[in-house]
Amino acid sequence: MAGLFSVVILAAMAAIVWHFNSRSTENENGLAGGLDIGGNRHVETLKRLNESWELPDDYVLETFEVDGIAMEWVRKKDAEPDRAILQLHGGAYTRSLKDNGTTYRRAAVQYAELSGAGVLTVDYRVAPEHPYPAALEDALLAYDWLLERGYTAKQIIIAGDSAGGGLTLATALYLRDHDMPMPAALITMSAWTNLNYKRMAPAYVGDHRADDPYISPVYGEYDGFPPMLMQVGGDERLLNDTLRVADKAKAAGVPVQQTTYDGMFHVFQMLFPELPDANEAWNEVEAFLQSIYSE
C-alpha cells in the first residue's frame, strides 16, 4: 500500500533531501523538520483517499502501450472528448506510474471532470535504469500520440506535478526549440525545475550536465511559451524552483498565473477533497482550464 501514497512522501522526500544537501547551510538535524510534509495526519488522509477510491461509473480507463511505453487514457463513458490533457506524474524521476497509480488516476478523473477533456497519463521510464533523456522521450511520444489521434496542439494542455512539473516544462522547451506545435497551456504543481546540485547528481541526470534546460528547466528561456498556471506550497523546499521559472517566463512576456499557497507542503493538491487548500487549488485549475478551452 505504500506505493499508493508515496508521491507526497517518498518521491517528494528524495527531491527535498537533494535540495537540503546542496543548498542549505542549516544543521543536518534540521532535515527532519523539512521532510515533515504536512504531518502524519495528511499522510493518512492520502492513504485513505487512495484506498477507498474507485473509478466513477461514468468514466472509463483504457490501458495500452505505444512503442513499449504504458499509457492510460481516462474519458467520460460513451463520449469522445474534443480536448485532451497530458498528465506527467511525479516521483523524482525514479518512481513509475505503477508505484503511484491510484494517486494519478484520481487526478486524471479530476482533470477530466473539471475540463471535459480526455486525460492521457504516460508511465514514462524512470531512473536509475533509464536516466535522461528517457522521460522526455516518453513524454514526447505521448504528445505525438494525441496529435496522431486527431487532437490539435491547441486542444492539448500538458500538466504535471513535482518531477512531472519539471518534465512538463522540459517537454514544452523541446517542442518550441524543434519548431513543433506548442500546447494550448501548461499546468505545474510543485514543479521540480532545478536538478543541478553541488554535492550529488540525481539519478535522472545520468552522464549529462545537470544544468541542461531539458533536465533543469530553470535554466531554459521561455520566449514563445503558452499560458501557464504554476502552483506551489509556501512551506516546501522546492518553492524557488517554481518562483524562478515563473519570473523568467513573465519577463519573456508569457502569461503566467503563479500562486503560492501559504503553509502548504509539496504536492498538497493530491489531498483533495479532504484538504480545503487542495480544493482551492483545484478550483483555480478549473478556472484556468475553462479560460484556455473557451478561447
Please say if 236 is a catalytic residue. yes
Catalytic residue (one of 162, 274, 280, 286): 162
DSSP 50-79: HHH----TTEEEEEEEETTEEEEEEEETT-
**Residue 262 dihedral angles phi and psi, to the nearest 5°:** -55, 135
Catalytic residue (one of 236, 280, 291, 294): 236
Give me the half-sphere count of Cα atoms (radius 13 Å) on the Cβ side of residue 59.
20
Give helix then strand counts, H and E, for the chain.
8, 8
| Set of cell numbers at residue 174 | 523541446
Residue 107, CA distances (Å) to 158, 250, 266, 295 in order: 13, 27, 15, 24
Please say if 178 is a catalytic residue. no
Q: Which of 33, 216, 202, 74 is nearest to 127 (CA)?
A: 202
For residue 214, give the H/E element and its range: none
List, by residue number, the catalytic residues: 162, 236, 266
